[in-house]
Every structure is written in C-alpha cells, then in structure tokens.
Amino acid sequence: MDEKQENFDIEDIIKKQRDFFKTGKTKDLDFRIMQLQKLKNSINSNETLLLDALKKDLNKSTFEAYTSEVGFALNDIDFMIKNLKSFAKPVKVKTPPAYLGGKSFIISEPYGEALIIGPWNYPFQLIISPLVGSIAGGNCSILKPSRSAPETYKAIEKVISDAFDEDYIYVVKNGSIKSSELLTHRYDFIFFTGGPTVGKLVMEAASKFLTPVTLELGGKSPCIVDKDTKIEYAAKRIVWGKYLNSGQTCVAPDYLMVHKDVKEELLNKMKEAIKEFYGSNPKESNC
C-alpha cells in the first residue's frame, strides 16, 4: 500500500472513529471496563506470539519480556479495571463566591480521538499502557508502534484486531505512512514516547490545532550513593536498573554521584553483581 492510499485510509479511520465517539458509547464506564477486559484477554491469548516477537526484535529473554512489557501492561489493565469507577467520580470543589448557593464539581470527560506513537525500546508496553489510559478515559485511539521493532508491530496488530473494530482502535499499517504525515491530521490528544528531537516536531504539529499532548522524552537520571548506604544492595540495584533491557531504558542510571569513602567498595560490588546477574561472559547470557 502506498503512502497516499494509507493517508486516505487514515482520514477515513479518523472519521469513523469520530462518528463512533459521537454515539456516546465510550462514555459509559461499564463499556470501558469491558474493553479493558477484552484487551487483557487478547494479550493473554497472544502471549507466546508477543514473547517470541520481543525475542526476535530485541533479543529479550522470556522473563524480561514478560516482566518489563507484557506483564507490565497486564498490571496496568488490572489496576485500571479495579479503580476506574473511583477515578471517574465527580470531585467536589469549593464554590466560588460568585456562585454561592450552588455546588461545584470537577467532572472528567473524554477527549475523543487519541493518537499514540510508541518507541522501539519498549515497543509493546509503551504502546499498550498509554492505550489503557485512553480506553479508561473513554477515547477512541489510533496506534503507531515503532517500525524498528517489526515483529512486535505485527504482534500488536494481531492483539488489537482480535479484540477491537477499527472504528474504535486502529493500528497504522507498518511502513505505509511516516509519523510526520500522520501528524498532519487533527486529533484530540497525542501521546508520544521517544526523543526530544521528534518530541519537538510532535508538539509543533499539535500546536497547529491546539491539541493537548503528553511527551515522555526521558532525560538524565543521576544515582546518588551516600556513605551510609548499604553498598551491596545499592550495587545490585544500580546494575539491575542500568542493564535492564540492555540499558535502553529512559530512566536507567546515567551517572553516579558517590561518596569518596565508599567509591571503591561500590565499584567492586557492582562488578560482583554483574557477574552474579550475567555470568563471566555477559555476551553469552540469556538474562
């Protein structure tokens, strides 16, 4: 499919989703909970496919793929199912003097049409977890997973197509349209995870329509180790956080600020932790 054809399809999908949103079905809390359960069921049904895809794309072990991606997303779904009705309750607030005699509440309303653009380093979790929020918030969604994780892209397409109609949730076909072209259309909310360079382009595109955005862009993450710290625990936690997902985590420790009295001990304990976690030759590790 060429880009022009996909662009036409995106326009058609956006219209279908806006029409579906206007029916008011997504405002019903029981409907939202049902959709979250459908998403959970589809993920569970496709678990093996997802784990295999993450292995092919990122060489993730089964344990790491489940704990950092599949299981992470399932936990988000369970949390939202349990708490959605509480989150959606009107919040009573103080009535301004001009409206004395009345009562004031904050009522949460869906945005409408959400675009979710995901990264390559957590290609499943960082598409599905924002989707969980979108569903819980009563929105329709268009998903754009990362082209750099093609097998996971296919698996996401299956998870979504098994559970939902495209007039509610749609996955853009891989390689058929660039994110820059996708951003020329109007949405009601955009959620982007990635780097600052592309994040600026997303915000620029959104500003043309005054579309609200969430930009999850990472940043520098220092780790401070004081002399009173339990060094063995600190070393293991630093190594785990740094090397999880081969270090490709936006909140992984970037640099250490260590009290000089415990510097050498920390370095030695970190070396021991690396060997304990990954063996004498980490390149051969399946962890």
Catalytic residues: 216, 250
3-state SS track over the chain: CCHHHHHHHHHHHHHHHHHHHHCCHHHCHHHHHHHHHHHHHHHHHCHHHHHHHHHHHHCCCHHHHHHHHHHHHHHHHHHHHHHHHHHCCCEEECCCHHHCCCCEEECCCCCCEEEEECCCCCCCHHHHHHHHHHHHCCCEEEEECCCCCHHHHHHHHHHHHHHCCCCCEEECCCCCCCHHHHCCCCCCEEEEECCHHHHHHHHHHHHCCCCCEEEECCCCCEEEECCCCCHHHHHHHHHHHHHHHHHCCCCCCCEEEECHHHHHHHHHHHHHHHHHHHCCCHHHCCC
**Cα 16 off chain centre by:** 24
